[in-house]
Structure 1
Amino acid sequence: MGDDGIDYNIVFPEALISEKHWRGSKEPVVILLGWAGSRDKHLAKYSSIYNEQGCVTLRYTAPLKTVFISESLGYKELRSTAQKLLELLFDYEVENNPVFFHVFSNGGFMLYRYMVELLHSHKQFSTLCVVGTVVDSAPGSQNVIGALRALKTTLGPKVNVLLQYFLLALFAVAVVLLRIVLYPVTKYFHRNHYDAMIEHPAPWPQMYLYSRADRVIRYRDVEKMVKVLREKGLTVESFDFITPAHVKDLQQQCSTL
C-alpha cells in the first residue's frame, strides 16, 4: 500500500486466530521497521510470525536515500515518515490497541528515533499505548567502516563497480565531515539517532539483540546503550549471540526467500 505517500503494508490476523490468542482483548499492533536495503518480502517473514500469534502487523522500510544521504546531511525527512506511520494507526482504527515495535539495524532505528520523539511530544500520539520494543542489530554510533559495509552490501553487484566506489567515497567524506569532525557543532542542529535516544529514551521495556562479531554494528555501541538506559532506571534486556552465525544466517535466509 502507499496511499499516504509511503510504501507500507498492514496485515490483520484472521478473526479465529486473534480470538484464540487474545480472547476478546484488543490484539497488539506490531510495527516492523526494516533495515536499509530490505524489501517487503524480507519483513513479511517476521510479519507472518506475529500474525500467527494474532497480532496486527504494520511493516515499512525507509528508502536508501533517506537513510544514507538525508540523515547523513542532517535533513530530517524521516520525521515526516514517522508521523505518517503513526497516523496510520488512527486511519485503521487501531489507536486503542497495544503497540509494539520490532526495529532492524540502524536503518530502522533512525526512523524509530523520530517515532519515539513524536510519542513524547505530539498530543495526538501521546494517547497511544506502547508496550515494548525489540531492537535487532542496532544501534551503532559513528561507525564509518560499518556504515560503508552496509552501504556496499545494499548497493549490491548490480551497481557498476566505479559508481559503487564513487558513492562509497562520497558517503564516507560526508559522514566523517558532518557526523564526526563537525559533530560538536552540527549536533545542535541535528543530533544523531544514537545520542538522541540516549538523551530522550523510550520509557517502555526494551530488548536488544546483537552479536559481538557483527561487522556492521559494533557490539560495544549496543552494550553502551543498554548500560546507559539501565542506569536511567529503564527496563532493558539484551542478548548477545556471540558469533555471527545466528544473526547473519537469519538475515541471509530472509534475503533468499
Structure 2
Amino acid sequence: MAASSARLLAAAAAAAAARGRAATTFRHAPTVSSSLSFPPNPHHRPSLHGRAGISFSSTSISLPSGSPHGASAPFNLFPPDSDPFIQWDPPPPDAASPLGAGAAGREAPGDLTLVVLLGWLGARQKHLRRYADLYRDRGVGSVRFVVPVRELLGLDLGRRVERRVADLAAEIAAWCDADHRRTLLFHTFSNTGWLAYGAILENLQSRADIIERIRGCIVDSAPVLEIRPEVWAAGFSAAMLKKSSSMTGPSVESPDGYTSNGTLNNLSSDVTRPTWGENILLSTLQKFFEIVLHLPDVNKRLEKVHSVLSEKQPTCPQFYLYSSADRVIPAECVERFIDMQKSLGQSVFAHNFVSSPHVDHYRSFPHVYAAKIDEFLKICSIARV
C-alpha cells in the first residue's frame, strides 16, 4: 500500500507541476558545509542507516514541451539531499548572551545562549540561515535542524527522523553540559518543527537540569494539536510543490487585499487558487494520511508527543507568531492552543501578522518580525524559570 501511495503522490505532483506557474524552476540547493568547531562532538555524524524507506530519488518527470526551459528539463520530485540535517553556527566572538544566566537576569561573563531552529517540512539549511543571522546579530549562536520531505514518506514512517531528533537532543545536552551558564531558546517552524520540539523535550525528560535552561520558545506558523489529515496534506503539498503551491501565496481572505502594514497585497488568481493538479495532489495526500495517521504505531507516537507539548512544556515564556491568512495551519487552531496553555498558567504571548502566508512572516514583515523577537528576548531575560 505504501509503494502504491508513493506512485500516486509522484503522479499527482507531476500533474501539479505541469499545471503550475510556467516560470518556476527547480534547482538543487547548494551544499552547506558543517562548522566542526562549535558542536560538542565534532566527529559525530548521525547514522544514515536504518529501516529501508521508499526511494524517491529516481522519480522525475519532464516539463511539457511548451515549457520555457525546454522539453527535456528534469523535475525531480524529491531531489537528492546535500544539506546536513544538523548545522551548528557559533556565536559571534566575545558574544554576550541577551538572556544572561546571572542572578535576576543580569549578564555574567561567559554566558552563552543557543537558539535551536527547527525547520518546516522541506526547509533547507539556507532558508534557516536568515533566522540564524537574526539571532547572531543579537549575540546568540544557533543550531539548525531540517527535515526533507522524503524522510517522512518512507516505509519506516518517520522513525529515521526520530533518530535524527534524538541525535540533536544529545548534542544539545552535551553543549549545555560543557558550561552550567549556557542557556537555550527554541524557535520552531510549522507543525514539523513544533513536533520536533516535542520530541526533543521527550528525549530530555530525564534531564531536568537541561529543561531548566530553556528560557523561551518561539512558535512560527503552528500548532495544530489535533491529528488532522487535511492539515498534513496541505503541509506536504506546500513542501513538495514549493513556489508552485497556492499554499505559499497570499490568501484570498486577506482583509480588503491589504497587508497588516497597510500596503496593497497583489492577489492574482494563479497564486491564490490551486490548479487542478494541485487539487489532485491534495486529495491523494489527504487519503494517504487518513490511513497513515491512524495506524496504531504512528497514532501512538504522535499522541505521545502531543501530550508532552500540551501538558509538559517548560515553564518558560512562549511566543506564537501566526497569520489569519495561513492556508496550512488555521489561525483558530493556534489560538485554541494558546488559550489552552494560558489555562495551564503558562506565560504566553502572540502576534497575528494577519496577511502573510505560511512560514513567510519574516520575509513579509522583516522589521516587525525582528522587533517582536527583540521584545520577546527582553521578556525571557527577566522571566523566572
When normalised by structure 2's length, the TM-score is 0.54
Aligned to 2:163: 80
The question of whether the paired residues in 1 share the 8 Å contact of 2:114 and 2:184 is answered with yes
Within 5 Å, give how 1:167-206 maps onto structure 2. 168-179=282-293, 182=294, 187-188=299-300, 190-191=302-303, 193-194=305-306, 196-206=308-318
The question of whether the paired residues in 2 share the 8 Å contact of 1:67 and 1:107 is answered with no
Distance 1:89 1:48 in 2: 19
Within 5 Å, give how 1:7-22 maps onto structure 2. 7-16=85-94, 18-19=95-96
1:148 counterpart SS class: helix
Aligned to 1:106: 191
2:204 counterpart SS class: helix
Within 5 Å, give how 1:130-145 maps onto structure 2. 130-140=214-224, 141-145=226-230
Within 5 Å, give how 1:144-163 maps onto structure 2. 144-156=229-241
The question of whether the paired residues in 2 share the 8 Å contact of 1:32 and 1:57 is answered with yes
Distance 2:197 2:155 in 1: 16
Over residues 116-157 of structure 1, what are the superposed CA-to-partner deviations in whole Å (9 max), with x where a residue is unaligned?
11222x3xx332111110000001234444433332222227
Superposition deviation, residue 204 in structure 1:
2.1
Q: Which moved more, 1:168-177 or 1:7-16?
A: 168-177
The question of whether the paired residues in 1 share the 8 Å contact of 2:96 and 2:111 is answered with no
Gap runs ≥5 in structure 1: none
1:84–1:172 distance in 2 versus 1, CA, 3 Å: same
1:20–1:39 distance in 2 versus 1, CA, 3 Å: closer
1:109–1:70 distance in 2 versus 1, CA, 3 Å: farther
Distance 2:162 2:115 in 1: 19
The question of whether the paired residues in 2 share the 8 Å contact of 1:143 and 1:217 is answered with no
Superposition deviation, residue 14 in structure 1:
2.5
Q: Which moved more, 1:6-15 or 1:25-34?
A: 6-15
1:202–1:62 distance in 2 versus 1, CA, 3 Å: farther
1:139 counterpart SS class: coil
Instruction: Tell me if 1:61 matches 2:141.
Output: no
When normalised by structure 1's length, the TM-score is 0.78
Over residues 176-213 of structure 1, what are the superposed CA-to-partner deviations in whole Å (9 max), with x where a residue is unaligned?
2343xx48997446417545522433432211111112
- How many residues are matched? 245
Superposition deviation, residue 233 in structure 1:
0.9
Instruction: Tell me if 1:4 matches 2:82.
Output: no
Letter in 1 for 2:291: L
1:9 counterpart SS class: strand
Larger Rg: 2
Superposition deviation, residue 66 in structure 1:
3.7
Distance 1:138 1:189 in 2: 19
2:360 counterpart SS class: helix
Work out the percentage of aligned pairs sharing the same amino acid: 23
Answer 1 or 2: which has greater helix percent: 1
Distance 1:47 1:101 in 2: 12
